[in-house]
């Protein structure tokens, strides 16, 4: 393994997990960094990244991000197409800016999927051009719809040999569905959105019969259930292959499993095999975003990323996309700070944040060859659960199991609110190992620092298939226990 390069200082005096400082130096021995894989080296994966906000908003320089992102290991990229940037004169389309993005991503082994989103004031009589993001074709009548048809047909003909997945609009339920009377209506009509999906999907499939259509792109919690139900009742399943959902919140695990079950239940009897994608979700790394005073740090962003991806894959999303690649800054709100990216794009030189290294770890471990399993993991604190419950008496440790071939990967962490300072706890753990699994030379992996530790004292095998680990660190983001042979197989050794 390469030399240790996982040490850095974070805001507020935060430091990455360190066994010595945490009191675990007698239990764990650092043996190196886990490998990472270039996106080109991974055949298939359920992990993606967002390349949003570089349409007409031009949030950052795409070409500067590519040398970094090619080493991420992600295989999907959500790209917004930018109708108003492409068609600045009626009937004239310039895709050169989008060609750079699509071709650049394909060259490094990342498959772009195009989100066809947002309006064009050439076809929409609007009183406030600044809110053009919200203007959707359907409410503006035949002229706008025909302009949209022409744009979509030109778009799919241009990219039909490079792009296979097409998303229709972005978050129509929360302010990106304007009308001539109201640029951001409180209750958009789901039937109008389904009509746009129908129109768009027919155009795409006419020129690319094998295309995959993504619908929904819904943002919000339980408050959007009625809207999603309206989509199902208006027949959206007839026109899509994938339903996309955007969960946000400071505790990634909270409510999301039930929400996914609810969404799946609405499509259970539609007669089509629809996939479900987590299409956009992330967390900024700055302390001030649109005036909100959360404790948003690079450390918290990295923690959130590991928990978001692990949760999505374990509960059954077919793909998870992290928002986003680069800091979008004033493109989100003029004069504002919005450090949403895994890459710092605030200066002339771009550089990866801790969240990027966490993304590398997750992409390396959880490609398409790694699948969830039912696991039996018991966590016991030496002093009882009372010392853990800093913010909620409802929170208990999260555990999850996966396998890659015949090698298991076990994850565990405490799902504390990301914004709350967390003190490392000491726990005991028992893991049931199924027959046939390779659990030789167990190791502990920290996905944020990419550090790999071996156990100075091997776990106690107290039965044929139970292993006891004494005095493990419990963090507020996942640590992974697996066999050292897993890393050797990933690294080709």
Task: Give one DSSP letter per residue of 198-228, joined into a string.
Answer: HHHHHHHHHH-TT-EEEEEEEE-SGGGHHHH
Strand 275-281 versus strand 242-246 pairing type = parallel
Q: How far apart are CA 414 and CA 251, in angstroms?
A: 11
DSSP 258: H
Structural tokens at position 44:
């298939």
Left if phi > 0, otherwise alpha if psi is -120 to 50, otherwise beta: which for 448? alpha
Residues 6+ away with beta carbon under 8 Å from 336: 289, 290, 329, 330
357 contacts 302 by C-beta, under 8 angstroms? yes
Task: Give the pLDDT score at 3.
Answer: 31
Task: Outline where 33-141 has alpha helix (H).
Answer: 62-69, 83-86, 96-107
192 contacts 234 by C-beta, under 8 angstroms? no
Task: Give the pLDDT score at 334.
Answer: 60
Q: Which of 402, 413, 341, 405 shows the shortest CA–CA distance to 366?
A: 402
Vertex 210: Cα angle to 48 and 141 (nearest 5): 85
Residue 372 CB coordination number (10 Å): 15
Beta-ladder partners of 411 = 400, 480
Strand 28-33: give its sheet, edge to edge. 28-33, 451-455, 442-445, 479-483, 407-413, 398-404, 370-373
Q: Which of 201, 89, 106, 121 shows the shortest CA–CA distance to 153?
A: 201
Task: Give the pLDDT score at 229.
Answer: 96
Q: How far apart are CA 491 and CA 429, in angstroms?
A: 28
Q: What share of the chain is helix, strand, coil (3-state, %, to 5)?
A: 30, 25, 45
* Whether the predicted model's global pTM rises above the 0.85 cut: yes
Task: Give the pLDDT score at 157.
Answer: 98
For residues 177-195, one letter each, b for 16 or more C-beta atoms within 10 angstroms of the residue's C-beta and e for the rest, the string is bbbeeebeeeebbbebbbb
Task: Give the pLDDT score at 445.
Answer: 97
Q: How far apart are CA 472 and CA 455, in angstroms?
A: 10
DSSP 133: G
359 contacts 70 by C-beta, under 8 angstroms? no
Integer CA distances (angstroms), 175 to 104, 169, 188, in order? 31, 12, 8
What is the full per-residue pLDDT of the chain (493 aa) written as tens digits?
333 344 555 555 667 888 887 788 889 999 999 999 999 999 999 999 999 988 877 888 999 999 999 999 999 999 999 899 999 999 999 999 999 999 999 999 999 999 999 999 899 876 665 566 678 999 999 999 999 999 999 999 999 999 999 999 999 998 789 888 887 788 899 999 999 999 999 999 999 999 999 999 999 888 889 999 999 999 999 999 999 999 988 889 989 999 999 999 999 999 999 999 999 999 988 755 444 445 788 999 999 999 999 999 999 999 999 999 999 875 666 666 678 999 999 889 999 999 999 999 999 999 999 999 999 999 987 766 555 555 544 457 899 999 999 999 999 999 988 888 788 888 999 999 988 899 989 999 999 999 999 999 988 888 778 899 988 999 999 999 999 999 888 876 4
Question: What's the number of CA atoms in the CB half-sphere (13 Å) around residue 104?
Answer: 19
Q: What is the DSSP code string of 429-466?
A: EEEE--TT----SEEEE-TTT-EEEEESSPPEE-SSSE
Integer CA distances (angstroms), 469 to 52, 397, 461, in order? 43, 16, 9
Question: What's the number of CA atoms in the CB half-sphere (13 Å) around residue 264?
Answer: 15
DSSP 387: G
Residue 438 CB coordination number (10 Å): 18
How much is the CA Rg of the chain, to the nearest whole Å?
23
For residue 80, report the phi and psi dihedrals to the nearest 5 degrees.
-85, 140
Q: How far apart are CA 342 and CA 468, in angstroms?
A: 36
Structural tokens at position 306:
């590991």
Q: Which residue has the tokens 């969240």?
A: 355
DSSP 459: P
Integer CA distances (angstroms), 417 to 129, 304, 391, in order? 39, 10, 7
- Burial of residue 210 (number of CB atoms within 10 Å: 0-12, 13-18, 19+): exposed
Task: Give the pLDDT score at 291.
Answer: 46
Residues 6+ away with beta carbon under 8 Å from 228: 173, 190, 216, 218, 262, 263, 266
Three-state DSSP class for residue 194? helix
How many residues in total does the chain contain? 493
Task: Give the pLDDT score at 490.
Answer: 84
């Amino acid at each position: 393994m390469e030399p240790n390069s996982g040490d850095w200082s974070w805001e507020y005096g935060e430091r990455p997990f360190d066994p010595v400082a945490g009191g675990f130096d007698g239990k764990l021995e650092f043996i190196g960094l886990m490998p990472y894989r270039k996106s080109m080296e991974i055949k298939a994966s359920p992990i993606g990244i967002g390349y949003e906000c570089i349409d007409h908003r031009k949030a950052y320089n795409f070409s500067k991000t590519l040398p970094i992102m090619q080493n991420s290991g992600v295989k999907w990229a959500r790209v917004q197409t930018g109708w108003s940037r492409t068609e600045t004169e009626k009937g004239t389309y310039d895709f050169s800016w989008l060609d750079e993005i699509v071709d650049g991503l394909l060259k490094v082994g990342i498959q772009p999927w195009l989100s066809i989103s947002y309006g064009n004031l050439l076809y929409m009589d609007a009183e406030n051009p600044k809110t053009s993001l919200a203007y959707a074709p359907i409410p503006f009548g035949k002229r706008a719809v025909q302009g949209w048809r022409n744009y979509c047909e030109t778009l799919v003909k241009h990219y039909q040999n490079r792009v296979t997945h097409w998303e229709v609009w972005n978050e129509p339920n929360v302010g990106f569905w304007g009308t001539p009377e109201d640029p951001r209506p409180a209750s958009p009509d789901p039937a109008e959105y389904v009509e746009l999906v129908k129109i768009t999907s027919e155009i795409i499939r006419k020129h690319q019969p094998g295309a995959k259509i993504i619908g929904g792109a819904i943002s919000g919690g339980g408050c959007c259930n009625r809207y999603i139900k309206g989509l199902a009742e208006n027949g959206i399943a007839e026109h899509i292959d994938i339903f996309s959902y955007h969960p946000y919140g400071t505790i990634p695990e909270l409510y999301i499993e039930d929400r996914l079950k609810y969404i799946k239940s609405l499509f259970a009897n539609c007669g089509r095999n629809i996939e479900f994608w987590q299409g956009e979700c992330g967390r900024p790394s700055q302390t001030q975003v649109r005036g909100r005073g959360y404790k948003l740090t690079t450390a918290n962003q990295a923690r959130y990323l590991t928990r978001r991806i692990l949760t999505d894959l374990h509960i059954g999303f077919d793909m998870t996309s992290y928002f986003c690649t680069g800091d979008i800054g004033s493109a989100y709100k003029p004069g504002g700070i919005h450090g949403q990216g895994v890459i710092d794009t605030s200066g002339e030189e771009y550089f990866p944040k801790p969240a990027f290294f966490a993304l590398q770890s997750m992409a390396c471990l959880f490609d398409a060859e790694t699948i969830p399993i039912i696991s039996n993991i018991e966590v016991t604190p030496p002093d009882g659960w009372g010392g853990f419950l800093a913010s909620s008496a409802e929170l208990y440790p999260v555990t999850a199991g996966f396998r890659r071939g015949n090698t298991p990967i076990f994850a565990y962490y405490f799902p504390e609110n990301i914004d709350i300072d967390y003190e490392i706890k000491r726990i005991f753990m028992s893991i049931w190992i199924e027959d046939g699994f390779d659990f030789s030379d167990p190791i502990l992996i920290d996905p944020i620092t990419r550090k790999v530790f071996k156990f100075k004292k091997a776990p106690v095998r107290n039965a044929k298939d139970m292993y006891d680990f004494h005095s493990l660190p419990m963090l507020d983001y996942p640590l992974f226990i697996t066999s050292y042979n897993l890393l050797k197989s990933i690294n080709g050794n």
